[in-house]
């Protein structure tokens, strides 16, 4: 337990010193600020492009537009930034030799995987929480007294998909030798989910639905019960990826 705590603290400090954590939090704070503002200002921006004889009719923005922008920003650019920043989660330390030195001094390989996974998950959770709190504050201020359906569940579903991506990233990092290979493997996993989602019957079981159906949940077009199979599959896949990462890294020649 002491070894885990020491290595986990090292991971947090390294994330701050290399600016990875600061960049991630800054990007998510920007999303939190701009999502409701963009939703509020979009009608005015579009109306400014209107010319004589051309009328651009834009519906009055609502809280739904603010949260739709939030889910779009986080599920697309936010998750990409998360994966790119942490793509070298194992490869960089192995190439520098620092991880090998710690392993030869008694550090467990399982501790390495668990510490890196849990700290990356913690950083994702903190950045995500700050983003949604800022979005919530601005949305309540700009669009008061407007209720949004299933918002807590939609927020949880997107967070859970981010947690799945981190577990896939850990598996890819344990199995590959460079951050580029890790990125390619993680991107390939997402591409497979996107290809699977083409089949209508597979949508309810596809983890990607947790990120894609956020707006449908807030508008009431989709119910939380519709995503329960996808949540179950996501949890199973996350556990399988972490288990696979532990097994592969224990046997890996460094």
- In three-state form (DSSP H/G/I as H, E/B as E, the rest C), the secondary structure along 49-107 is CCCCCCCCCCCCCCHHHHHHHHHHHHHHHHHHHHHHHCCCCCHHHHHHCHHHHHHHCCC
What integer pLDDT is reported at residue 155 of this predicted model? Answer: 96
- Residues 141-187: tens digit of each pLDDT: 988 877 789 999 999 999 999 999 999 999 999 998 888 999 999 99
Rounded mean pLDDT of 104-117? 89
Is pLDDT of 50 > 70?
A: no
Q: How confident is the model at residue 231 (pLDDT cuts 50, 70, 90)?
A: very high
Is pLDDT of 53 > 60?
A: no
89 and 113 in contact (C-beta within 8 Å)?
Answer: no
Percent of the chain with pLDDT over 90: 58
- Residues 185-215: tens digit of each pLDDT: 999 999 999 999 888 888 889 999 999 999 8
What integer pLDDT is reported at residue 170 of this predicted model? Answer: 95
Gap between the Cα atoms of 166 and 43, Å rounded = 37
170 and 124 in contact (C-beta within 8 Å)?
Answer: no
Mean pLDDT score of the chain = 89
Is pLDDT of 35 > 70?
A: yes
pTM exceeds cut of 0.85: yes
Rounded mean pLDDT of 119-144? 93
């Amino acid at each position: 337990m002491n070894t885990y705590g020491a290595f986990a603290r090292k991971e947090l400090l390294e994330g701050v010193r290399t600016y990875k954590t600061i960049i991630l939090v800054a990007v998510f704070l920007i999303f939190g600020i701009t999502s409701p503002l963009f939703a509020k200002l979009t009608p005015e921006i579009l109306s400014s492009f209107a010319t004589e004889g051309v009328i651009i009719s834009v519906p009055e923005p609502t809280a739904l537009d603010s949260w739709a922008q939030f889910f779009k920003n986080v599920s697309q650019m936010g998750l990409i930034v998360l994966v790119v920043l942490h793509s070298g989660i194992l490869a960089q330390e192995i190439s520098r030799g620092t991880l090998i030195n710690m392993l030869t001094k008694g550090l467990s390989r399982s501790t390495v995987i668990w510490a890196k996974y849990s700290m990356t998950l913690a950083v994702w959770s903190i950045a995500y929480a700050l983003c949604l709190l800022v979005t919530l504050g601005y949305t309540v201020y700009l669009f008061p007294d407007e209720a949004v359906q299933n918002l807590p569940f939609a927020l949880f579903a997107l967070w859970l998909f981010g947690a799945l991506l981190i577990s896939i990233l850990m598996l890819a990092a344990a199995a590959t030798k460079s951050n580029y290979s890790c990125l390619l493997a993680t991107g390939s996993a997402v591409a497979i989910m996107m290809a699977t989602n083409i089949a209508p019957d597979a949508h309810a079981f596809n983890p990607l639905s947790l990120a894609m159906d956020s707006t449908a949940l807030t508008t009431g077009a989709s119910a939380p019960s519709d995503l329960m199979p996808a949540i179950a599959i996501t949890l199973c896949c996350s556990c399988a990826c972490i288990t696979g990462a532990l097994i592969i890294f224990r046997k890996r020649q460094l």
